[in-house]
Amino acid sequence: MNLVLFISVLIVSFIIVRIGAIAFQLTGLEWSLAKFQALSCFTATGFTTREAELITSDPRRRRIASVLIVLGHAGLVTMIATFANSLRPQAIAGKLAVPFLHFGIPTSIQPWINLTIIVAAIYIIYRVFTNTKFARRLTNVLRNRIIKKEIIKSVSFQELAVATGGYGVSRIKIRKDNPILGKALSESGLRKDDITVLAIVRADDTMPNPVADTKILPGDELICFGKLGIIREKFA
């Protein structure tokens, strides 16, 4: 029973981290950064000061991080307890009868059998959840469920990097109802908010350092530098 519980908690842990990564991405974090932050929160490791600013500056991300931290500690305690109990001979009462064979498994080697099963389970689960096709399908299913249930509202921007003082680089997809649509950069008012457009991604083309009279068209994506909090408020 302890062995089954350990494996179950391990599988659930992988799923929770994936859900956390999707939730972070829906709030505007770049995907690779979202995955790292979700794993960092769940395991309470690798949380750097600069990247932590992306989490602490947004109330929704703070809530997501809090849930991941709590679940991570609960999962760790459960796995440690079930792992320890799985290595005890009493974890399997008496002897295990092996089908079609006329001998049992000595109690003394039961912990080693359990340990072998645990190591094999960890390896198999890790390979399954890191398989590109499986991970992509699982991510799409979970993301669609989260969006459909409106657990996390998707934003129109991604935060790609963070600098000191709350500044950073964001990738913004211009929605149809955005007031700056159809305007030139000089007319958009972005400079008044201390937002600099570094590039415009249009279809398969990228226009670096666009001139002031460049018009913002439907489907454009802006690569901007500025205060992440202001960008978030303006385009969320």
Among 76-85, 117-126, 193-202, the least confident range = 76-85
Report the C-alpha gap between 121 and 125 in whole angstroms: 6
Q: Verify that 123 and 208 share a domain, yes or no.
A: no
Which of the listed residues 102, 128, 148 is the one where a domain comes to its end?
Answer: 148
* Range 163-180 average pLDDT: 83
The token duo for 86 is: 């799985």
CATH of residue 214's domain is 3.30.70.1450
Distances (CA, A) of 77 to 37, 89, 112, 178: 21, 21, 22, 47
Whole-number pLDDT of residue 50: 66
Ordered DSSP codes for 3-28: HHHHHHHHHHHHHHHHHHHHHHHHTT
127 burial (CB, 10 Å; 0-12 / 13-18 / 19+) is exposed
Q: Verify that 113 and 88 share a domain, yes or no.
A: yes
The token duo for 64 is: 């997501």
Q: Verify that 143 and 226 share a domain, yes or no.
A: no
Whole-number pLDDT of residue 94: 45
Q: Verify that 83 and 16 share a domain, yes or no.
A: yes
Work out the percent of the chain whose per-residue pLDDT is above 70: 88
Residues 6+ apart with CB under 8 A from 50: 162, 163, 164
Helices then strands, counting H and E runs in the chain, come out as: 7, 7
Which of the listed residues 148, 175, 193 is the one where a domain comes to its end?
Answer: 148
Q: Verify that 166 and 183 share a domain, yes or no.
A: yes
Q: Verify that 86 and 177 share a domain, yes or no.
A: no
* Range 71-81 average pLDDT: 90
Q: Verify that 112 and 213 share a domain, yes or no.
A: no
Domain hosting residue 192, numbered range: 157-235
Tell which phi-psi region holds residue 150, choosing left (phi > 0), alpha (psi between -120 and 50) or beta: left
Which of the listed residues 121, 148, 175 is the one where a domain comes to its end?
Answer: 148
Q: Verify that 13 and 127 share a domain, yes or no.
A: yes
Using DSSP, state whether 205 is helix, strand or coil: strand
Report the C-alpha gap between 35 and 2 in whole angstroms: 29
Domains of the chain: total: 2
**What's the pLDDT band for 211 if we cut at 50, 70, 90?**
very high
